[in-house]
Structure 1
Amino acid sequence: MKYIFFLFFVLLSFSGCSKNEEPMAEMAVSAIKLAPKNESAASSDIQADLASPQIPQKIIKEASLRFETDNLEDTFNRIQTAIAANKASIQNDSEGKDYDNIYRNLTIRVPSQNFDSFVNAISKGVSYFERKDISSQNVTEQYIDLTSRLKTKRKLEERYLQILQKATKISEILEIEKQISAIREEIEAKEGQLKYLESRVAESTVTIEFYKTIAQKEGVKTSYGSKLWTAIQSGFFSLSEFLISIVSLWPFIILFCVLAYFIRKRFKRKKI
């Protein structure tokens, strides 16, 4: 920081003594070149922040559950009770039917502090899980890094705004405003990343898939009746096609009958 203030002091002093003033745009470029030094200094602050016990850990929790149930409606009602008790919300709800089961899939967002309580409430009525994956990701370092870089960009923006107030030429103003616009885009991008990270930390995602197996006897009866009806329809269509094919050959049948008649008549004459 001493080098930066010293450089600005020299530039300002030189501009007061010299007849040709140095353009403000060049001062802006100098500020850009010095910015990486500030960011490297900010990275050292990140390590200090990580060592500080005052910063709470930023952890993203997720869970994926799959299990079988005897009653889909009762299971869904039990999940809704757990949702209300833990201040959660349903983000996605879908249901359908496969060959041998009826299923329902839920995606639930639950406050991170209620994550364990919610998963335990869902697990109580389940005899066994076909899938139960619970994961946690510590993003504290990423969170501090984004916060520090965002602070550095905001300080850089303030420095350019101060330079802009001293600019007199249109070319200088346009150049500085261009740099400020680029910095603000970076600030908005980092703010978006930070908000997304905070959202994932604040609320955990729990995916629940539960299903009921269709009775095998019902499936056999349904399948047998369907096959029988399909066979009857297939036989009827085959017979229809056969009759149609015979009708389409009527000229050849008539010709065959005529030839057979003359051949038979000729044989009769020979015998006489």
Structure 2
Amino acid sequence: MKRKILFSLIFIAALIGASFLIGAFYQPFGSFETFRETGFKTPTISIKPVKESLAPTINERMIIYTGYISLETNDIDGTIAMIRSLADRYGGYVASSNKYMYDEEVRAEIVIRVPKDKFHAAIQEIESYGKVLNENINSEDITQQYIDLKARLSNLQHQEKRLLEILELAKNVDEILAIEKELERVRGEIESLQGQINYLERNVEMSIISINLTKP
């Protein structure tokens, strides 16, 4: 059963003039003000944020692993084939591959993605495919960034839920339009945050290894 909205009417009379300001407040969900007689047709809405204690927790660190290896090999095409096979065997895939001429020499670049738990094994196997000229391994801990994004997402989802509850209680077109406008803004932010979270999760789950191949 819907809860009854408690509206308090505040009348301010000026010594000169007969205009009145009417404000309506919806206390459980912040403020919900409507100005009808003063020319302000659109209500303004604010929703209190979720307390920080509701921020999510995670069981393990969120770490993005990336690797770069420069290999010298006599058989570039054969090495590319082995790297492709490795990516497939480890449950990954080839993100990009490029073979080109540089100073009249054939060179190649191939980028693969492998599950995070296969990253170090993949690096070790690729090292055996030729002479290692250069190698860089990086790890980026994005745990706090991830937690912050999840907390902001939870807060916005909480706001969305409350706005939907207020929408059911709206009494006129102005209130409905104002609530729908705020819902559109909140949902846009939810979509943006969810996209960022998905991007981080993909990069954590699937590590990136870039390999540069040259001939002796």
TM-score range with shorter-chain normalisation? 0.7 to 0.9
Runs of 4+ in 1 over 3 A off after TM superposition: 27-32
1:228-260 Cα deviation digits (max 9, x unpaired): xxxxxxxxxxxxxxxxxxxxxxxxxxxxxxxxx
C-alpha separation in 1, matches of 2:77 and 2:8? 81
1:93: which partner in 2? 97
Q: Compare the two structures and name the one with the higher strand fraction.
A: 2
Q: Compare the two structures and name the one with the higher helix fraction.
A: 1
1:155: which partner in 2? 158
**Contact 2:65–2:208 (8 Å) recurs in 1:** yes
Give the counterpart letter for 2:33 in structure 1.
Answer: E
1:116: which partner in 2? 120
Unaligned runs of 5+ in 1: 1-7, 214-272
Is 1:171 paired with 2:186? no
2:46: which partner in 1? 31
Q: What is the alpha-carbon root mean square deviation over aligned residues?
A: 2.5
Q: CA offset at residue 21 of structure 1?
A: 7.4
**Contact 1:23–1:172 (8 Å) recurs in 2:** no
C-alpha separation in 2, matches of 1:106 and 1:21? 64
Q: CA offset at residue 106 of structure 1?
A: 0.3
1:4-51 Cα deviation digits (max 9, x unpaired): xxxx99x71646xxxx7726641874633x33xx3xx32x555x83xx
Percentage identity across aligned positions? 27
Structure 2 counterparts to residues 39-188 of structure 1, below 5 A:
41-42=51-52, 45-46=54-55, 49=57, 55-127=59-131, 129-188=132-191
Question: How many residues are aligned here?
Answer: 189
1:203-237 Cα deviation digits (max 9, x unpaired): 11111011114xxxxxxxxxxxxxxxxxxxxxxxx
TM-score by length of 1: 0.63
Structure 2 counterparts to residues 218-257 of structure 1, below 5 A:
none
**Contact 2:73–2:215 (8 Å) recurs in 1:** yes
Unaligned runs of 5+ in 2: 10-21, 27-31, 35-42
